[in-house]
Structure 1
């Protein structure tokens, strides 16, 4: 399962939403077909087909749309202030950590050689940046909170789950010395919705 697809699956599980799902064979080129390009011209998953036949891409956009249909539990925040902080932390997790781990994969995994001009030195730099930013996250969580926003599980934590999944694919892990980040990681992994990590006994 792709990390972005995993976000939507986690969201669905946390909400208790059941919708028909069609799995795409990404390694087999399923997102690079003409048929799939009609669903998403960028050739990326996930894609949500709406009742009117239109197709919504981008995981956060899909989850926000589903939140409007199924408002409880509120995963994008309850009050206006909390919603703003969830948005802030979604951006932080996406730009500061998820994308950095993703860059490592883009420049190291052979599948993506057709997508980018892979650069091993850049990948090595991104690894260092990722670990540096984990230290920043550790400091942010030093107040002892379990989750990123108001100590309530939110979409920001779901993006964090995706980040951990991407990182695991390229053998990037939260160091044991970062005790606050490890506490947050453990809280996410304890949730029944947490995606199976690469290398786990029941990972598919």
Structure 2
């Protein structure tokens, strides 16, 4: 079993952090997306979308998409549970995971793709769209800060996969200078610092 990844990518980090929380050791294979190694035909057989990460199972089959990979390991290694412990918690974890993907990861990702030039050799970029996406991510800081004023984690006092995904998306914002100001977003910064102090955050 192995995972194909580009370690600096936020969705790869969220899988690494998840596996570290589970105590699961994994073989990682570096795929240089900067050089376009993920666009090669043999890689597209693993994932037609040519994204990272991709999990390769021992039977040769593949699972792409970071949350799908996390769900696989949650089923195989249910302790500690990171997708929720009862019906309500599972629903809230799913809700915050989707909020994180739509409001943070998508917008930070679009800001990165359209303003840094990292992918300008293989896609048409729209800097104005990238800048607007960055502004939308920053607007979401206020939503998170207000929520975290009364909650230790995204789902009350329960640390979950939703926190992992949101943290990795938020931290990736550093690549495009999207960082929460401690004076303006003290609760969000407190949450981020607490999560980054976990051993899994540096996995």
Provide the residue aligned with 1:26 in structure 2: 33
Deviation at 1:195, TM superposition (A): 4.1
Alpha-carbon contact 2:103-2:136 (below 8 Å) kept = no
Gaps of 5+ in 2: 1-6
| TM value normalised by structure 2 | 0.91
Q: 1:181 to 1:21 in 2, by over 3 A?
A: same
Q: Which runs of 4+ in 1 moved over 4 A?
A: none
Please give the alpha-carbon distance, in whole angstroms, between the structure 1 residues aligned to 2:75 and 2:198: 23
Please give the alpha-carbon distance, in whole angstroms, between the structure 1 residues aligned to 2:41 and 2:51: 13
Please give the alpha-carbon distance, in whole angstroms, between the structure 2 residues aligned to 1:157 and 1:114: 33
Alignment of 1:153 with 2:159, yes or no, is yes
Gaps of 5+ in 1: 197-204
The worse-fitting range, judged by mean Cα deviation, of 108-117 and 174-183 is: 108-117
Aligned length: 195
Q: Which string of whole-angstrom CA distances, capped at 9 and with x for unpartnered residues, describes residues 114-170 of structure 1?
A: 454212222221222111111111111121x22111312110011012212320111
Deviation at 1:100, TM superposition (A): 0.8
| TM value normalised by structure 1 | 0.90
Deviation at 1:19, TM superposition (A): 2.3
Q: CA RMSD in A?
A: 1.4
Task: For residue 94 of structure 1, give the secondary structure of its aligned residue in structure 2.
Answer: helix
Provide the residue aligned with 2:176 in structure 1: 170
Deviation at 1:103, TM superposition (A): 0.9
The worse-fitting range, judged by mean Cα deviation, of 65-74 and 158-167 is: 158-167
Deviation at 1:41, TM superposition (A): 0.9
Please give the alpha-carbon distance, in whole angstroms, between the structure 2 residues aligned to 1:164 and 1:171: 11
Deviation at 1:109, TM superposition (A): 2.2
Task: For residue 48 of structure 1, give the secondary structure of its aligned residue in structure 2.
Answer: strand
Alpha-carbon contact 2:105-2:169 (below 8 Å) kept = yes
Alignment of 1:52 with 2:59, yes or no, is yes
Alpha-carbon contact 1:161-1:195 (below 8 Å) kept = no
